[in-house]
Amino acid sequence: MQIITLTSDFGNNSHYLAAVKGKIFQLIPDTQLVDISHEVSNYDVLQASFLLRNSFKNFPVGTIHVLFVDSNIKMHKQFLVVKNDGHYFISADNGIFNLMFDEISDDVWQIKFEEKLSENLFFEKDVFAQAIKNIVSEIPFEKFLIKSKINTILHNSMQAVVNENTIRASIIFIDKYQNAFVNISQKLFEENRKGRKFKLYYFGKNYLTKIAKHYTEIEEGNELALFNENGYLEIAINKGAAAQLLGLRVGQKVIVEFDIA
């Protein structure tokens, strides 16, 4: 059974989401739909890319991932099918691909469709569903796609700025528990730490000097930093709402200062 994931900014109570699912089931009855999230902030491709970047590798190779976030064809000119790491990704060419992948794939295809369809305000529902059906049916790409390239490249704010003694980063996502995710990977941190002591500044003069392995290492109500299961730095409070209580927000700067050797 084909697995298809859906990520959107529709909201869970929207008729848009029901229409998309209905259309896919109409064309491909024997399929399994998995919701990544439909609570992405409106038009927020960074948030959508973060969610999918940190989840898609847990799905079987061959999974099709569909993104309905900032998908206005008049603005972004083309809908794309991109194959990367054995997975298929369908989205508007809105900059999301370079945010999701460390290296941009060259296996990029533009979806062909009749121009008159674009007058329909929600025509990507039909275009994406048909593309999914064609992929599942193993129709050669050349029959319904045109070889293309990714035209929209956004600044990758998932990459921190590094020099000899500091890492300058940003909060890129805040989850339901009010934990703040920072664009510093454990690999990047350790490569630059080189065994040195550090101060991790997260709000004004507030800082942490240790990396925990689990939330429960710190007393309830106290803040901590740890690397989560996907290898991203996370600022949290044990059984508390870190973002709310510490004044953290998406886009806020986080700075790591290492002792000078």
Query: So where are the chain's domains?
Result: 2-147, 161-258
Residue 13: partners with Cβ closer than 8 Å, 6 or more residues away: none
C-alpha radius of gyration, the chain, whole number:
21
Fold of 161-258: Elongation Factor Tu (Ef-tu); domain 3 (2.40.30)
Is residue 235 within 8 A of residue 190, CB to CB? The reply is: no
Residue 98: partners with Cβ closer than 8 Å, 6 or more residues away: 104, 150, 153, 154, 156
> Of 107, 103, 109, which is closest to residue 86 (Cα–Cα)?
107
**Per-block mean pLDDT, blocks of 10 residues, the chain (261 long):** 95 91 95 95 91 94 96 83 96 91 88 71 87 95 93 73 92 93 93 94 92 93 94 94 94 93 63
> Of 248, 115, 254, which is closest to residue 182 (Cα–Cα)?
254
Its sign, for the CA torsion 160, 174, 46, 226, is positive
pLDDT at 184: 93
**C-alpha distances out from residue 134 to 28, 42, 91, Å:** 10, 29, 16
Domains 2-147 and 161-258 share a fold: no
pLDDT at 118: 57
Domain 2-147 has CATH 3.40.50.10790: yes
Q: What element of type H or E holds 15? A: helix 15-27
Kindly state the DSSP code that residue 239 receives in the 8-state scheme: T
CA 130 to chain CA centroid, Å, is 24
For 166-217, the pLDDT digits (tens) are 999 999 889 999 999 999 999 999 999 999 999 999 988 899 999 999 999 9
Is residue 132 within 8 A of residue 124, CB to CB? The reply is: no
pLDDT at 144: 92
